[in-house]
Amino acid sequence: MTRAVRVLAFALSLAVSSCAYYNAMWSAERFAKEARRLEARGQEPEARTQWARAAVKAESVLVHHPQSRWADDAVVLRAEGLARAGTCAAAAAPIAKALATVSETSLRERAGLAAAQCALTTGKPVEAENALTDALASNDARRRSRAEFLAGQGAADRLDYTAAVAHFRRSREPAALPARARALLDAGRSADGAAVLDSLAEGRFREDEWAELLGGLAAAGGAGAASAALDRMLTLARVPFAARARLLMADGDRRSAAGDLDVAGTRYREAAAAVPGTVGTTAEAGMARVREQRALAAAADRPADLSPIIAELTRIVRPGKPGAGLAAPSGAAAGEAERLLELVARVAATSTTPGEAFRSAELARDSLGAPRLAGALFLELAANDAGSLFAPKALVAALPLVPERHDSILGVLGGTYAASPYTRALRGEASLAYGAAEDSLARELGVDLARGPTAAVSRPSALRTGPRGPWLDEPPVRAAPPPAVRGRERPTEPGRRVPTERPTERP
């Protein structure tokens, strides 16, 4: 082989090598570019996949061309790709190498961003902010914006919400605006947070983001503030029908939890109407119809108020002829409708014994969440069965439910039932008969009793009532066993709660 041929072969090999290197770096950069595009669209899982691919391609360059003049670019891109793909354990070595060996300013800024990303992921906000010194002063607007966003996250992790808001305001990252709203809400600045939510509604709609921030606004500024913000946001953004229904239902749930039952019912009706087509044919519309009935039941004042609710739930569960405009819900909505119908029917049913009446009142209070109805049922029991063991207990249970009758109920307890162990416990007096009364009530309700030693109560602080009857705030003070009661060795402890019904999961 002549010298000219050898020189030509060497030149061709260099060209092929350079071409392969260029192709590998081009592929790595292409994956990184696609990852940034997906991040801008809010497609984080897809973006992480592209960052991982970019890291693999960059590693290939480092393996095959470790001494190339583009090796620094490759090591930094590998560090970036692994960090933004969420694999910070694998990114640690490339990040350390990049920070130790790379001198070019833009590459060091990118390496610092990768280091800050992983520091935040591993819960080291101070370390993250230290790694951002160069990038925060960068001449490149994109890197500076990214650094401001990461610095804001670090400040928020340190609970320095003022600094976090300032950093997020200076960032143009897509996630910076919701992050700023979150920081404002965490700082208790609900009005400022609501204003940022209005701005957020003018951008791309993301249901999970809206739902989280509206929940945060409700926690910071109240359910009413969240409702007002949602109304504004729905007028500013194009929201899919099903997502609109879910957001309205969530708002109804917040208003219901806050006791705003009329507003909650309106929200549920709006949610059902948000989905076009035959009413109730979608999961969202069906669930909204069921929750509207639950809100109506919770607002009931007397048993007669439950009749139209039972009728509507029956139509939901067992719709009439096709074409009537209603369709049976399916899935979770169907199950919730069935459970709610069963519960409401049990509360509305005519009781034949004082025990059944007491159980119905407890269900209305604890499972249906209808305090006014429960108070009416407790008072009705006391009026209809004044000589029953349940009567004084029902009056005590009614006290917090019907505050406008507080004085009259106390008058009856102090007069007709002055000697009752429930009245004495309410006054803070020790009473050995309390446990015996609870055992008698439990036997009438068919509840198995746990046997144990009797205790006396010394100066109880107050009597409270709950799902399984009244009990005392303070723990009992042990005393000598009292005489046998009704053939048993000793009554149960006055401070022990005896269940009056099996636990019932709320529909």
Residue-wise pLDDT tens digits, 325-359: 455 555 678 888 999 999 999 999 998 888 899 99
- Asked if pLDDT for residue 429 goes beyond 90, the answer is no
Residues 6+ apart with CB under 8 A from 485: 436, 439, 491
Of 53-67, 90-104, 117-131, the one with minimum mean pLDDT is 53-67
Q: Which long-range contacts (CB under 8 A, 24 or more apart) does 276-282 make?
A: 276/241, 278/325, 278/326, 278/327, 279/325, 279/326, 279/327, 280/316, 280/319, 280/326, 280/327, 280/328, 280/329, 281/327, 282/242, 282/245
Report yes or no on 397 lying in a domain.
Answer: yes
* Residue 458 confidence (pLDDT): 35
Of 79-83, 118-122, 297-301, the one with minimum mean pLDDT is 79-83
Amino acid at 417: Y
Report yes or no on 17 lying in a domain.
Answer: no
**Which pLDDT band holds residue 244 (cuts at 50, 70, 90)?**
very high
**Which pLDDT band holds residue 447 (cuts at 50, 70, 90)?**
low
* Residue 436 confidence (pLDDT): 75
Structure tokens at 396: 């005590």
Report yes or no on 404 lying in a domain.
Answer: yes
SS3 279: strand
Separation CA 285–CA 277 (nearest Å)? 10
Q: Count Cβ atoms below 10 Å from residue 50 Cβ, excluding itself.
A: 23
**Which pLDDT band holds residue 188 (cuts at 50, 70, 90)?**
very high
Report yes or no on 468 lying in a domain.
Answer: yes
> Interior CA angle at 254 toward 470 and 330, to 5°?
95
Report yes or no on 405 lying in a domain.
Answer: yes
- Asked if pLDDT for residue 321 goes beyond 90, the answer is no
Judge residue 111's burial from the number of C-beta atoms within 10 Å of its C-beta, 0-12 exposed, 13-18 middle, 19 or more buried.
Answer: buried
Report yes or no on 409 lying in a domain.
Answer: yes
Average pLDDT value over all residues in the chain: 81
**Which pLDDT band holds residue 95 (cuts at 50, 70, 90)?**
very high
* Residue 36 confidence (pLDDT): 86
pTM of the model: 0.75
Report yes or no on 30 lying in a domain.
Answer: no
- Asked if pLDDT for residue 463 goes beyond 70, the answer is no
**Which pLDDT band holds residue 219 (cuts at 50, 70, 90)?**
very high
Identify the CA nearest to 150 among candidates 114, 178, 122, 98: 114
* Residue 444 confidence (pLDDT): 72
Of 347-351, 448-452, 492-496, the one with minimum mean pLDDT is 492-496
* Residue 209 confidence (pLDDT): 94
* Residue 490 confidence (pLDDT): 38
Of 30-34, 179-183, 320-324, the one with minimum mean pLDDT is 320-324
Separation CA 421–CA 428 (nearest Å)? 10
Report yes or no on 395 lying in a domain.
Answer: yes
SS3 420: coil
Of 54-63, 187-196, 251-260, 488-497, the one with minimum mean pLDDT is 488-497
Q: Is the Cβ–Cβ distance between 179 and 161 less than 8 Å?
A: no
* Residue 35 confidence (pLDDT): 86
Of 71-85, 92-106, 276-290, 393-407, the one with minimum mean pLDDT is 276-290
Total count of domains within the chain: 1
- Asked if pLDDT for residue 296 goes beyond 90, the answer is yes
- Asked if pLDDT for residue 323 goes beyond 90, the answer is no
* Residue 468 confidence (pLDDT): 42
Residue-wise pLDDT tens digits, 368-380: 999 999 999 999 9
- Asked if pLDDT for residue 481 goes beyond 50, the answer is no
- Asked if pLDDT for residue 66 goes beyond 90, the answer is no
Judge residue 292's burial from the number of C-beta atoms within 10 Å of its C-beta, 0-12 exposed, 13-18 middle, 19 or more buried.
Answer: buried
Separation CA 288–CA 270 (nearest Å)? 8
Task: Determine the longest span between alpha carbons in the chain, in angstroms.
Answer: 125
Structure tokens at 469: 């009857």
* Residue 5 confidence (pLDDT): 41
- Asked if pLDDT for residue 427 goes beyond 90, the answer is no
**Which pLDDT band holds residue 22 (cuts at 50, 70, 90)?**
low
| Averaged pLDDT for residues 177-205 | 95
The b/e string for 123-139 (b: 16+ C-beta within 10 A; e otherwise) is ebbeebbebbebbbebe
Share of the chain above pLDDT 90, in %: 54
Separation CA 347–CA 189 (nearest Å)? 43
SS3 124: coil
* Residue 329 confidence (pLDDT): 56
- Asked if pLDDT for residue 314 goes beyond 70, the answer is yes
| Of 402 and 491, the one with more pLDDT | 402
Separation CA 52–CA 395 (nearest Å)? 67
- Asked if pLDDT for residue 501 goes beyond 80, the answer is no
* Residue 16 confidence (pLDDT): 39
Q: Which residue has the tokens 């009752």?
A: 420
What radius of gyration, in Å, describes the C-alpha atoms of the chain? 34
Residue-wise pLDDT tens digits, 270-294: 999 998 754 445 788 889 999 999 9
For residue 398, what are the domain limits? 354-472
283 bridge partner residues: none
**Which pLDDT band holds residue 43 (cuts at 50, 70, 90)?**
confident
What letter would DSSP give residue 29?
H
> Where is mean pLDDT largest: 76-80, 142-146, 439-443, 494-498?
142-146
> Interior CA angle at 183 toward 182 and 184, to 5°?
90
